[in-house]
Amino acid sequence: MADYAAFYQRSLQDPDAFWREEAARIDWQKSPTRICDASRPPFVRWFPDGTTNLCHNAVDRHLPERADQPALIWVSSETGEEKTYTYAELDREVQRMAAIFFDLGVGLGDRVLIYLPMIPEAAFAMLACARIGAIHCVVFGGFASGSLASRIDDARPTLVVSADAGSRGGKVIPYKPLLDGALAQAQHKPHAVLLVDRGLAPAARVAGRDHDYTSLRERHAQAEVLCAWVPATHPGYVLYTSGTTGKPKGVQRDTGGYAVALAASMAHVFAGKPGDTFFCASDIGWVVGHSYILYGPLLAGMATVMYEGLPIQPDAGVWWRLVERHRVNVMFTSPTAIRILKRHDLAHLKASDLSSLRTLFLAGEPLDEPTAAWVAESLGVPVTDNYWQTETGWPILTLARGVQPDQPAKLGSPGVPLYGYRVGLFDDVTGEPLTEPGRKGVLGIEGPLPPGCLQTLWGNDARFVSTYWQSIPGRQVYSTFDWATRDADGYYTILGRTDDVLNVAGHRLGSREIEEAITGHPGVAEAAVVGVADADKGQVAVAFVVPRAAGPLEDATQGEALTAEILARVAADLGPVARPARVVLVPVLPKTRSGKLLRRAIQAVCEGRDPGDLSTMEDAAALQHIRP
């Protein structure tokens, strides 16, 4: 049995040889002779002289051996639909979509913004972009017009792909009005909109701009579109993530390095094999969906389950019935989802035959011990935590089940660093590396980052450097902006964010984004938003708001009205996912003498912790108004 420690050390001591071997997991039109170009740190170019295509590796190369094998299994508990696409059928749909893109003016390097629910056309669109060398920018379907407009202006897409509506919890969510609102707000005007009509909601068309997917699909039913072989360093996609400012960060991913990293992770981390079935219960709007609903399983020649719906709809047994029906071997979801299922009758889980399931992987927020113990005992399979970020594209910390299956887990810890990652803890004031077990520090990664990690931020190299590589004093080290500790065995425990980004049920939300939406209300003077610990979601957003007039503070009816308007405004600007769990009206916010909001102190009070040193506080009485 392989020893993971030796495997990991080899990846650090001889990275070129290590990643040259891993690069053989994918097809190349021109195999790389150079493995890593780190001559311009912190920027790194993996396999810089190689050429490849992500769609070819995910679909085309499997056709000779597994054309009739299931590739994409789509299930919607929202609409009651289910459809399985073989690799051959997936190939045909992707080529049709690629032909439509060409028809609508999309070319190599153009951006295509995808604003779709969890439907097969989302997968077709992403793969079609990869096929022709376009760059996809997927925006989560729950985002509102304001958030969508900011991403349109940053990515400047040639085409937007959307739908009439999505559905969640049986409630139809019209997309087209949100998209039309975003396009009205955005300075950049895309050339065309491709609309998938699901028959769920009316969708007004703009003549000359909006095109019907069904009719164009029929027109290009027999289209053949060859894969565009692109440099390994060619951007594959841009995915937006929240930051500490109101402007989202466009994480830019390459093509070759990402394909190699995902292919390696399917073998080494998830122990997946061709012909297996992988069920990642996430959303294609998040990085987990990009990596492990779509690309990872297909690169490995597996079937992937794409699910539209809630884990408890129509009941808490729906996921487990899918595991039984499709003989799922590996499952990946979030601790939040498992905590929700834990509240329901265990009979829902026990009613299904789960004998095909080998492992459950969980990520998105820290995994608490009771949840891990409950699901491991209930399923009777290993439960593997893992920790990573939109920026890295694949796990940083976990257990490599495909390298050393018996590598022991520790409850409360996601595990040890994965191969290729030079992980350490650093003092947030001095930048000093912290080597003693138990010390709390900022989790950092020394460069070069391994394949699959972000190349830069879209259109903003300077922000990439200043945000990630200059945050740990005196060192050019990538900061994860997470506090962590490490024990004597090298296992890490994640303690929480060092910055002002909230983690709500695995969704990263910027405090500043929510605050800016709130302060846009004419009745609001100031606002502070903090993440407060929550048993189900990991964190929830709580907003403390200073009204412009004293009325809402003095009159309960006025206060309730203002609170309702604030919540509606946040939902309208940023989407329901960003709406605070609570809004608390206060006469003043705790600040330092220099005017900086004391968010950590506010958060500590809300969670019943010591707020720490308040000697720099401008008004010592301000914290008295803070309440959970």
Tell me which DSSP letter residue 69 carries.
S
Tell which phi-psi region holds residue 76, choosing left (phi > 0), alpha (psi between -120 and 50) or beta: beta
pLDDT in tens, 231-248: 999 999 999 986 655 578
Specify the pLDDT at position 359: 96
**pLDDT above 90 (res 123):** yes
302-322: average pLDDT: 96
Torsional sign, CA 57, 58, 59, 65: positive
* Peptide bond just before 552 cis, omega within 30 deg: no
Cα separation, 68 vs 365, whole angstroms? 37
What percent of the chain is modeled with pLDDT above 90?
Answer: 75
Sheet containing strand 456-457, edge to edge, reads 210-212, 192-196, 159-163, 111-115, 135-138, 237-241, 249-253, 456-457
- CATH number 2.40.50.140 is the correct assignment for the domain at 422-497: no
Mean per-residue pLDDT, 446-458: 98
Which helix (H) or strand (E) segment holds residue 613: the answer is none
Q: What is the pLDDT of residues 459-471, one digit of tens each?
A: 999 999 999 999 9
pLDDT exceeds cutoff 50 at 1: no
> For the segment 502-525, what is each residue's pLDDT rounded down to a tens digit?
777 667 676 767 887 898 898 988
For residue 578, give the nearest of 491, 526, 626, 510 by alpha carbon. 510
pLDDT for 614 equals 59
Q: Comparing 457 with 140, which gets the higher pLDDT? A: 457
pLDDT tier at 595 (50, 70, 90 boundaries)?
Answer: low
pLDDT at site 176: 95
| Per-residue three-class SS string for 384-407 | EECECCCCCCCCCEECCCCCCCCC
Per DSSP, 569 falls in state H
Position 431 pLDDT exceeds 80: yes
Helices then strands, counting H and E runs in the chain, come out as 21, 32
Mean pLDDT of 71-83: 97
Q: What confidence category does residue 369 fall into, taking pLDDT thresholds of 50, 70 and 90?
A: confident
pLDDT in the model for residue 429: 87
pLDDT greater than 90 at residue 18? yes
Annotation: CATH topology of 505-625:
GMP Synthetase; Chain A, domain 3 (3.30.300)
Say whether pLDDT at 271 is over 90. yes
pTM of the model: 0.85
Question: Mean pLDDT over residues 14-30, rounded?
Answer: 98
Q: Give the confidence band of 608 by pLDDT, cuts at 50, 70, 90.
A: confident
Highest mean predicted confidence (pLDDT) among 171-185, 361-375, 483-497, 521-535: 171-185
Model pLDDT, residue 245: 54
Give the DSSP H/E element, type plus range, for residue 174: strand 171-174
Burial class (CB in 10 A: 0-12, 13-18, 19+), 592: middle
Q: What percent of the chain has pLDDT over 70?
A: 95
Output the pLDDT for position 244.
Answer: 52
CB 268 within 8 A of CB 316: no
Mean of all residue pLDDT scores within the chain: 92
* Tokens found for residue 443: 């989790």
Q: How confident is the model at residue 144 (pLDDT cuts 50, 70, 90)?
A: confident
Q: What pLDDT does residue 248 have? A: 80
Question: What is the rounded distance in angstroms from the CA atom of residue 256 to the CA atom of residue 208?
Answer: 37
What letter would DSSP give residue 577?
G
Confidence of residue 618 (pLDDT cuts 50, 70, 90): low
Mean pLDDT confidence for 409-417: 92
For residue 370, the model assigns a pLDDT of 81
Structure tokens at 406: 């018996």
Q: What's 225-274 look like in SS3?
A: CCCCCEECCCCCEEEEECCCCCCCEEEEECCHHHHHHHHHHHHHCCCCCC
- Give the residue with greater pLDDT, 96 vs 519: 96
Structure tokens at 568: 């509606």
pLDDT band for position 594 (50/70/90)? very low
- Residue 520: alpha-carbon gap to chain centroid: 27
**What are the structure tokens assigned to 117, written together?**
């629910």
Asked if pLDDT for residue 55 goes beyond 90, the answer is: yes
Residue spans of the domains in the chain: they are 422-497, 505-625
Per-residue pLDDT, 590: 83
Q: Give the residue-averaged pLDDT of 443-454.
A: 98
Tell me the DSSP string of 455-474.
-EETT-HHHHIIIIISSSTT
| DSSP-derived secondary structure letter, 189 | -
Question: In this model, does residue 364 exceed pLDDT 90?
Answer: no
- Which stretch of 90-104, 333-347, 607-621 has the lowest confidence by average pLDDT? 607-621
Crossing angle between the packed helical segments 87-103 and 120-132, to the nearest 10 degrees: 70
Which tops the pLDDT comparison, 29 or 505? Answer: 29
- Nearest alpha-carbon partner for 243 in 472, 43, 453, 499: 499
- pLDDT (average), residues 42-68: 98
Q: Helix or strand or coil: residue 445?
A: strand
